[in-house]
Amino acid sequence: MFNGDNVSVADNQQERLDAEWIVGFVDGEGCFHVSINKMSEMSIGWQVLPEFRVVQHQRDEQILLRLKEYFGFGNVVVNHGDRKEFRVRGLDNLNKLIKFFEKYPLKTSKHKNFELFSKILNLMNNNEHLTMEGLQKIANLASKMNRQVVRHLESSETIRRNPTIVG
């Protein structure tokens, strides 16, 4: 029997998510990622692209939209094939996201990735990604984070020798 005052989660997908639920879901499904891309039109020649993602099969797009609604930023876009992602890019939004996870800490080892990600964001907030020295610091932090992707970025020489590295 429908009762508007006692509507279930299944009936009302717009109910605000609980912060601890989000932390649990991100401990399972979230990804903090930093790619360093060759961009010859940028003065330093490289673009640092930090992003946060939660990927789900498209059958669960509603939960990605609820994440977007909760945070008030980010986008839900196609990941690949039948998978969608809630994606957050941009320093302003990512700084807000970091505040959220500082208030509600991750409980799995993903917390370590988050801390590295947070350090990289701090460097970017100080515009250090626009210097070769800062870029090197970022590459070193990212190499600890995205182990499969950028573990071979250990020196700025390597960055220069591998212009196609995309995270």
Residue 132, phi then psi, degrees to nearest 5: -65, -35
Report, in Å, the least distance between residue 103 CB and a copy of itself. Answer: 12
State how far the Cα of 75 lies from the Cα of 88, in Å rounded to an integer: 7
Nearest distance from C-beta of residue 118 to a copy of itself, angstroms = 14
- CA 161 to each of CA 42, 46, 56, 153: distance values in angstroms, whole numbers, following the listed order: 17, 12, 35, 10
Nearer to a copy of itself, 14 or 40 (CB): 14
Strands 83-88 vs 46-57: parallel, antiparallel or unpaired: antiparallel
Which whole-number Å values give the CA distances from 54 to 26, 88, 150, in the listed order?
7, 9, 20
Provide, rounded to whole angstroms, the least separation between the CB of residue 94 and a copy of itself: 21
Residues that bind a copy of itself (CB under 8 A): 8-10, 17-29, 56-57, 59-60, 63, 66, 105, 107-109, 111
| CB nearer a copy of itself, residue 81 or residue 133 | 81
User: Least distance from C-beta 95 to a copy of itself, angstroms?
Assistant: 21
Nearer to a copy of itself, 17 or 123 (CB): 17
Euclidean distance between CA atoms 64 and 78, whole angstroms: 11
CB of 5 to a copy of itself, least distance (A): 17
Instruction: Please say which residue, 90 or 105, places its beta carbon nearer to a copy of itself.
Output: 105
Query: Would you say 13 or 131 has its CB closer to a copy of itself?
Result: 13
Q: The tokens of 100 are what?
A: 């959220």
Write out the two tokens for 134: 């800062």
